[in-house]
Amino acid sequence: MNLKTELATKTTAPPVEELSDQLPFDLRSSEWYLNRELTWLEFNKRVLHEGQDERNPLLERVFFLAVIGSNLDEFFMKRIGGLKQQVGASVKSLSVDGRLPQQQIDACHEVVREIVDQQQLLEKKLRLLLAKEGIELKQYKELTPEEQETANGYFRNDIYPLLTPQGMDPTHPFPFISNLSVNLLVSVRYPESDHSYLIRIKIPTSSDLPRFVQVGKRDLYILLEDLVGNNLPLLLPGMVIESCETFRVTRNAITERSAEQANDLLLMIESALRDRKFAEIVRLEVGKGMLDLHKGKLAAELGVDEAIDVYEVDGILGVRDLFQIAALDRPEMRFIPHYPVDNPELLGDDPNIFHTVREHGDVLLQHPYESFDTSVERFLREASSDPKVLAIKMTLYRTAKDSRIIQYLIEAARNGKQVAVVVELMARFDESANIRWAGFLEEAGIHVTYGIVGMKTHAKLIFVIRKDFDGLRRYAHIGTGNYHAETARAYVDLGLITCDPEICSDLTELFNYLTSGCTPMRRYTKLLPSPKQLKKALLAKIEREIDHHKKSGTGLIQFKTNALEDIDMVQALYRASMAGVRIDLIVRDSCRLRPGIKGLSENVRVVSIVGRFLEHCRIYYFRNNGEEEYYVASADLMKRNLESRVEACTPIESVQHKALLREMLDLQLNNTRNVWEMHADGSYSQRRSDDEEGSVCVHHYLIGRAIKRAVAGRLALAKKKSRKKISNRQIGKKEGK
C-alpha cells in the first residue's frame, strides 16, 4: 500500500477531547507534560557531566565545558529572550505543563544557576589538571617579570591601537554594549580630585586576536582582558585607577519580523539582523567581586533586573572561548583521532557515481563515521562537471565558511547546467552568511529563491537530473544534517543517495512547491514532507501500530530524534503505551513526555545519548506487524518542524540498510556508556557498567563498525578485480593472445 492510499484509508486519531472520557488519564492535564526549557537544561547537565567524567581525555573535557558556555549563551538569546517577549506582551496563556512565561523564566534561572555553579567548579579543576600537563592559564600578576614584559610588548604593538575607552558622564552617554562582548568597567579619578569617573573598554577579540594570549613559546596563556586591565596607565595616562572590573551582556536574538507582511524577504532579514544588534539585554554577567554600586548602575543602564538577570561569575566570563584551548595540538589529551572512511557501497570499478548508484541502488551514508567528502561532496562535484547532467536543485540551510558545496554549484552553472538553490535566510545565527552566499550564487547565474513565505526550509536535499543512456533519470541525496563539511565530522547524521523513481518523482513535486510557492494538489508516493504530510502520516502509523498490537500483541515503535515537543505526538504515544505498544525513544535533549508512569507510560522508555559526537539524525521505526518500516528525516518531533517548516522524511527500504539502522538503534538503546535513562520527573541517571566491553562509547563502537565495513568493501572490490583479471587472461589465452 503506497502512502497516498494509506493516508486515505487510515484516519488519524480522534481529538483528545473526544477521548478524555474514555481514557483512564485526562491527556489535557498539565501534570503529564514536562517543560520544554527545563528539559533542555537537563540536557546541558548531561553535557556538563561529560566534562566532569574522568574517563574522557583532558582537552575533550575542556571542550565539553566550552560547549556548556556556548549552549547557555544560545539558551538566553533564544529561549529566555522569547519568554521575556511574552512577559512584555502580557501573555497570560499557560504552557502545556501549566506555567506562565514568568514562571518559566524563574524556574530556568534557578536551574541555570545550579549549572553555572557546577561549571565554575569544573573550570577550576580543569585548570589545575591542565597546569600539570604543561598548559597554564594564569593571571597577569602570576607571570614572571620577563613574561610580563613579553605580554606588555604584545599589548603595545597589537592591542593598544584597537582600544577605545568610552566615558560615562553627562557629556558621554552610556555606550552601546554589543552582544556577548567582554568589557572592562574602569573607575578612575584625577590625582587631585575625589570625584570618580567610569570608563568602558571593549575587549577586541576576533579570529585574529584570540581571547587567550599566549605568552612566549610554551603553552602559557592569560586572558586578553587581564592583559588590558594591567596596562591601563598607558591607555589612561595620569589617571588614578581605582578599580577594574569585567562584564558581559547577552541580547535577545528573537527579532524576526512577520515574513507574511514583508515585501522583500532579504530586506526583512537584513533589518532583523540590525534589530538583533540593538535588542534588549536578557542577561548580565559580571566578574566576581564587582562593587555593588557598579553592578547596580550597569543593571539600571542596561535595563535588567539586578536580582534575577545578573550572574556573578567566579571564573572566565564567556567560557565558550575555551574552545581555543580545547583545540590545542596535544593529541595525547584528545580522543583517538577519527578519520572518516569511504562508504563501501560507493566503491567500484566505475569512477562515475551516477553509474554506481544506478547499478547498485540506494546508498545509505552514516556520518561522521563515513566521509562527507567522498560521498555528498563527490555527488555534487561530479554532478557539476558531468556533461550528461542537465540540472541541479538544492536546499541550503547552513554550510561551512569556505564551502566546497558553493564552489561546485557555481562550477555547475559555469558549465551550462540549470542550477536552482533554495537558500534559507532565516537559519538563526547563519542569516548573514546565507545572505552572502545567496549573493554569490546569484552573481554566478544561479536561480536563487528563499522558500515558502512564513516557513523555514529545513529539508536537506540535492536533486540531479541526468540524461542517461535510456533517457532522463533523476538522482537525489536526502539527508538529516546540513551541507556543512565541518559539522559532518562532529554530528551523527544519515543520508540516502538514490535514483528510486518514486522518491525522485516526489522530490520533483517538492522542489516545484519550494520554487513556486504553489501548494494545491501535490501528491507524494513515498516521501513524507512537512508541513502537509509528515505529522499526519506519523500519527496514522502510531494508530496503526495500536491496531496491530490489539490483534497480535507485538506492537513496537522506536523513534530517534533531537527533541519530542509536539503535544499531538506525545498524546499519541501515551495512547499507544496505554494500549500496550512497546515504545523506545532516543531523544537527545528536550522531551515533554514523562516515561514510566503506571497505566500511562509504563511501556515507554526514553534514553539520551551524549558523547564524543553530537547526535543529530532522526529515525522513525514501526514494527508494522512484521512488515517493518524505517524512515530517516530532517524533522524533529516539534510543532514547528511538523507544522511550519518544510522538511523531508524518506523511507529506507533496502534490507541491508534496515539492518544498519537496526544495529544503530539496538546499540544506543542497550549500551551502558554515554546512555542516560530518563525518569518520570524529567531527571536522568547515567547507565554504568563494570564490564570493559559494555563501557565502550557508542560512537567509538560505530567508528569500528564503519572501518570493518570499509575494509570488507575494499577486499570484496579487490577480489572482484582479481577475478576479472584472471578471466581476461583466460579469454586472452583462448584467443591466442
Domain ranges of the chain: 3-32+530-696, 36-333, 344-525, 700-737
Q: What is the mean pLDDT of residues 148-167?
A: 95
Catalytic residue among 367, 447, 458, 548: 458
Beta bridge partners of 632: 619, 650
Q: What is the mean pLDDT of residues 509-528?
A: 84
Residue 312 has pLDDT above 50, yes or no: yes
Residue bearing the bigger pLDDT, 138 or 18: 138
Q: Which CATH superfamily is domain 344-525 in?
A: Endonuclease Chain A (3.30.870.10)
Residues 215-242: tens digit of each pLDDT: 999 999 999 999 999 999 999 999 999 9
Question: What percentage of residues in the chain have a pLDDT greater than 70?
Answer: 88
Residue bearing the bigger pLDDT, 419 or 5: 419
Cell triple for 637:
518531533
Q: Tell me what pLDDT residue 731 has.
A: 52
DSSP tag of 280: P
Residue 261 has pLDDT above 80, yes or no: no
Q: Tell me what pLDDT residue 4 has.
A: 45
Residue 703 has pLDDT above 50, yes or no: yes
Q: What is the mean pLDDT of residues 560-576?
A: 97
Q: Tell me what pLDDT residue 20 has.
A: 47
Q: What is the mean pLDDT of residues 114-123?
A: 97
Question: What percentage of residues in the chain have a pLDDT greater than 90?
Answer: 73
Highest mean pLDDT among 173-187, 275-289, 346-360: 173-187
Q: Tell me what pLDDT residue 164 has.
A: 94
Q: What is the mean pLDDT of residues 663-686?
A: 93
202-206, 474-478, 624-628: which has the minimum mean pLDDT? Answer: 202-206
Q: What is the mean pLDDT of residues 648-656?
A: 97
Mean residue pLDDT across the chain:
89
Residues 398-443: tens digit of each pLDDT: 777 778 998 999 999 999 999 999 887 765 555 666 667 677 788 8
* Residue range 3-32+530-696 in CATH 3.40.50.150: no
Q: Give start and end residues of each alpha helix (H) in 327-455.
A: 353-360, 378-385, 404-414, 431-443
Domain 36-333 fold is polyphosphate kinase like (3.30.1840)
250-264, 361-375, 642-656: which has the minimum mean pLDDT? Answer: 250-264
Q: Tell me what pLDDT residue 453 has.
A: 75
Q: What is the mean pLDDT of residues 386-408?
A: 89
Residue 7 has pLDDT above 60, yes or no: no
Q: What is the mean pLDDT of residues 592-615?
A: 96
Residue 682 has pLDDT above 60, yes or no: yes
Q: For residues 347 and 317, is the Cβ–Cβ distance under 8 A?
A: no
Residues 10-61: tens digit of each pLDDT: 444 555 444 445 568 889 999 999 999 999 999 999 999 999 999 999 999 9
Q: Tell me what pLDDT residue 267 has.
A: 56
Closest CA to 287 of 249, 314, 322: 314
Q: Tell me what pLDDT residue 322 has.
A: 97
Please give the full DSSP string across 185-245, using - where no structure is assigned.
Answer: EEEEE-TT---EEEEEEE----SSS-SEEE-SSSSEEEEHHHHHHTTHHHHSTT-EEEEEE
Q: What is the mean pLDDT of residues 699-722?
A: 88
Note whether 36-333 and 344-525 share their fold. no
Q: Tell me what pLDDT residue 693 has.
A: 56
Distance, in Å, from the CA atom of 235 to the CA atom of 201, rounded to the nearest integer, reads 10
Residue 1 has pLDDT above 60, yes or no: no
Q: Tell me what pLDDT residue 33 has.
A: 97
In degrees to the nearest 10, what's the CA dihedral of 90, 96, 98, 104? -60
- Known catalytic membership, residue 657: no
Distance, in Å, from the CA atom of 508 to the CA atom of 89, rounded to the nearest integer, reads 42
Highest mean pLDDT among 93-97, 272-276, 435-439: 93-97
Cell triple for 401:
565558511
Q: Tell me what pLDDT residue 436 has.
A: 74
Q: Tell me what pLDDT residue 724 has.
A: 64
Residue 260 has pLDDT above 50, yes or no: no
Residue 262 has pLDDT above 70, yes or no: no
Residue 340 has pLDDT above 80, yes or no: yes
